[in-house]
Every structure is written in C-alpha cells, then in structure tokens.
C-alpha cells in the first residue's frame, strides 16, 4: 500500500512541475475546451508545447479528448478536476502567506 501511495504522489508531483500544465487545466476548467480557445487563453504558449502537453495529459488520464463531427474538444476527467483543486489551493496559499502587504 505504501508503494501505491508513493507512486501516486510521484505522478501528481511530475504533473504539477511540468510547465504549462496548471495553466492548461485551469483554462479547460474555465470553459476553454477547444484547442484554439485553450491556446488563446494562455499568453506565450506555442502550438508545439500545447500539443505536447495535451498528449501527456490525455495519456495520464487527466483530460479526455472528445471528437464529435470532426470537432475536437478537451474535458477534465476526475483526476484533472482534483489537480485544478490543488492548483487553486496553492494559489490561495500564495495569496495568504506570500503576497507583500
């Protein structure tokens, strides 16, 4: 059981430290489900980087890639929703303890 918990922590830690992952997940959470909407909501992010990260997040079952009538969209899976919750909590901690007065 201890190894399973440690492996789960490693997976979460690996995803959290990847550049752009928090921004992508928060963008999807805010309703930007189409590729172009996600890209346009994140300043300075390249097409190549977004493609890479969406592939990783899909592979890790954080997001779901939905194809409907040749339209592609992305939705958060439960794991993705939990990660967004973690990111929001970390932002709250930053605001609470590290913002200059």
Domains of the chain by residue range = 2-97
Q: Does domain 2-97 have CATH number 1.20.120.790?
A: no
What is the average pLDDT across 94-99?
Answer: 86
Angle at 57 between CA 81 and CA 85, to 5 degrees: 20
**What digits encode the pLDDT tens for the residues 52-92?**
999 999 999 999 999 999 899 999 999 999 999 999 998 89
**What digits encode the pLDDT tens for the residues 18-33?**
999 999 999 999 999 9
Q: What does pTM read for this prediction?
A: 0.86
Question: What pLDDT does 2 receive?
Answer: 53
* CA 79, 82, 87, 93 torsion-angle sign: negative
- Residue for token digits 């969209």? 73
Cα 86 to Cα 80: distance, rounded to the nearest angstrom: 10
Cα 49 to Cα 92: distance, rounded to the nearest angstrom: 27
**What digits encode the pLDDT tens for the residues 71-80?**
999 999 999 9
Nearest of 93, 99, 79, 94 to residue 21 by alpha carbon: 79
């Amino acid at each position: 059981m201890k190894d399973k918990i440690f492996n789960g922590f490693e997976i979460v830690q690996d995803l959290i430290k990847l550049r752009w992952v928090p921004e992508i997940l928060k963008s999807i959470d805010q309703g930007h489900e189409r590729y172009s909407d996600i890209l346009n909501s994140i300043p300075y992010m390249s097409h190549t980087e977004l493609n890479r990260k969406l592939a990783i997040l899909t592979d890790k079952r954080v997001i779901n890639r939905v194809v409907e009538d040749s339209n592609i969209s992305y939705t958060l899976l439960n794991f993705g929703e939990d990660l967004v919750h973690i990111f929001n909590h970390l932002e709250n901690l930053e605001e609470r303890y590290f913002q200059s007065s």
